[in-house]
Amino acid sequence: QQQVKQSPQSLIVQKGGIPIINCAYENTAFDYFPWYQQFPGKGPALLIAIRPDVSEKKEGRFTISFNKSAKQFSLHIMDSQPGDSATYFCAATTSAAMTTDSWGKLQFGAGTQVVVTP
Amino acid sequence: DGGITQSPKYLFRKEGQNVTLSCEQNLNHDAMYWYRQDPGQGLRLIYYSQIVNDFQKGDIAEGYSVSREKKESFPLTVTSAQKNPTAFYLCASSIYGTSGAFFGPGTRLTVL
């Protein structure tokens, strides 16, 4: 059973649009939530991450929104460009501050394929 | 340049063969991980190691084995007991005290 549920499976937006990807989790021990971007045939690249004491984090055109009470978080890609076309994965893990034996083990969502058309 | 290297990039295995995938990092990271990626299923954890000479099973360890004799190296052996080994294998590493894992470029394994 997946500990992190991600939706939608795929989405298509026009250049300049704002793709939004949503993730939900159940394990309240998770305290670190990264997003990864993956291009075909490549390894995932860490894009942006958030901890549950923050409700929003921005890095460039990427924004994470976090709702601790709902156990949900989402990625927004502002002013999307064709070069943003990739598969995006949300993930969750427990940091070393919370556990001594299983820190850093990432649980991934199933991924969202984003296509940004010109 | 610091980073994670995986070799080979492509690997072909015959039925009944064991194969070993290499993963090396020069980032001085404490922990190393092996993930398997199949289409539509995200990444699933095979094994992880937080310290040299110690490793733990992940969610799908059956048919795989690992070793961690050096901090910078974490090879994965896909044994003949793994019935469906065709997949994209990703190695990652992270520093103790942080949680952002960095991934290598991957090895694509195909069973002939």
Q: What is the pLDDT of chain B when averaged over all its residues?
A: 92
Interface of A with B in 70-99 (CB under 8 A): 89, 93-97
Whether the CB-CB separation of A23 and A5 falls below 8 Å is answered with yes
The reported pLDDT for the residue numbered B42 is 85
Q: CA B91, CA B74: separation in Å to the nearest integer?
A: 8
List, in sequence order, every beta strand (DSSP E) within chain A.
Answer: 4-7, 10-14, 20-25, 33-38, 45-50, 56-59, 62-67, 72-77, 86-92, 107-108, 112-117
Say whether residue A45 is in contact with chain B using an 8 A CB cutoff. Answer: yes
Mark yes or no for CB contact B40/A109 under 8 Å. no
Assess A29–B contact: CB distance below 8 Å, yes or no. no
The answer to whether the CB atoms of B98 and A95 lie below 8 A apart is yes
Tell me the C-alpha to C-alpha distance, in Å, between residue B43 and each of A91, A109, B77, B88: 10, 8, 18, 9
A-to-B residue pairs, Cβ atoms closer than 8 angstroms: 76
Residue A1 has pLDDT above 70, yes or no: no
Separation of alpha carbons A85 and A14, rounded Å: 11
Position A2 scores a pLDDT of 76
What pLDDT, on the 0 to 100 scale, is given for residue B99?
63
Q: Which residue has the higher pLDDT, A116 or A28?
A: A116
State mean pLDDT over A94-108: 72
All residues of chain B having their beta carbon less than 8 Å from the beta carbon of residue A36 are: 103
Q: Which of A19-33, A89-103, B55-69 has the lowest mean pLDDT?
A: A89-103
Instruction: Quote the CA–CA distance of B106 and B50 in Å, as a whole number.
Output: 20
- The SS3 of residue A84 is helix
Res A19 pLDDT > 80: yes
The whole-number pLDDT of residue B104 equals 97
- Find the mean pLDDT for residues A60-76: 96
When the pLDDT of each residue in chain A is averaged and rounded to a whole number, the result is 92
Q: For B55-101, what is each residue's pLDDT tens digit?
A: 999 999 999 999 999 999 999 999 998 989 999 999 999 987 666 79
